[in-house]
Amino acid sequence: AFEKFLIVDSFVNTGYNMMQAEFGLGKQIGEMHFGLSSGMWSLVNVVADPITPIILEYQIGVTNRRLSPNIAIRMGYGINTAKDIETKKETIKQPNYMLMQGFIGCTFSLLRRMDLDCYGGYTLMSAKGQSSGFLTVAASIRFHRTTKPKNRD
């Protein structure tokens, strides 16, 4: 009963002061999804250089229903694209970030090969011993290829 799906994700998040857009690839095995994504995270209320995340995702949920609850955990590394700040006395290096996101949500089956995931959760960013976090609302459109039609009641 292990159906295997190649999944192409597009992921858009909006959190407090942050907009995230990502593209990823993943594999569905049974009720588990494993994925890898990258894209751009940017602050929206201030002028700032974007962060390029590299994210690993694990998601579990019921996959054979039109409306399926799920839980997602995403962890990764954020590459800061800002240039170092040079002063007369020193150079201040811009930090890269450790990233972690936890979500609870639902998957809506739109078409036989397309799903919409809607999530609510929390994003944590940590660098140089300091961290900050914010509530996050996310949506993801998944396009998948399957060798067998999915049974979606």
- Rg of the chain taking only CA atoms, in angstroms: 18
The 10s digit of each residue's pLDDT in 30-67 is 788 888 989 888 877 766 788 899 999 998 886 667 88
How far, in Å, CA of 20 to CA of 42, rounded?
6
The single residue listed with the structure tokens 């067998």 is 148
Other C-beta atoms closer than 10 Å to the C-beta of 56 total: 15
Give the chain's mean pLDDT: 81
Is residue 11 classed exposed, middle or buried when 0-12, 13-18 and 19+ CB atoms within 10 A define those classes?
buried
How far, in Å, CA of 96 to CA of 60, rounded?
29
User: What pTM, to 2 d.p., does this model score?
Assistant: 0.78
15, HSE (Cβ side, Cα atoms, 13 Å): 22
DSSP state of 149: -
The single residue listed with the structure tokens 């201040």 is 92
Q: Which of 36, 28, 138, 30 is nearest to 77 (CA)?
A: 36
pLDDT at 2: 38
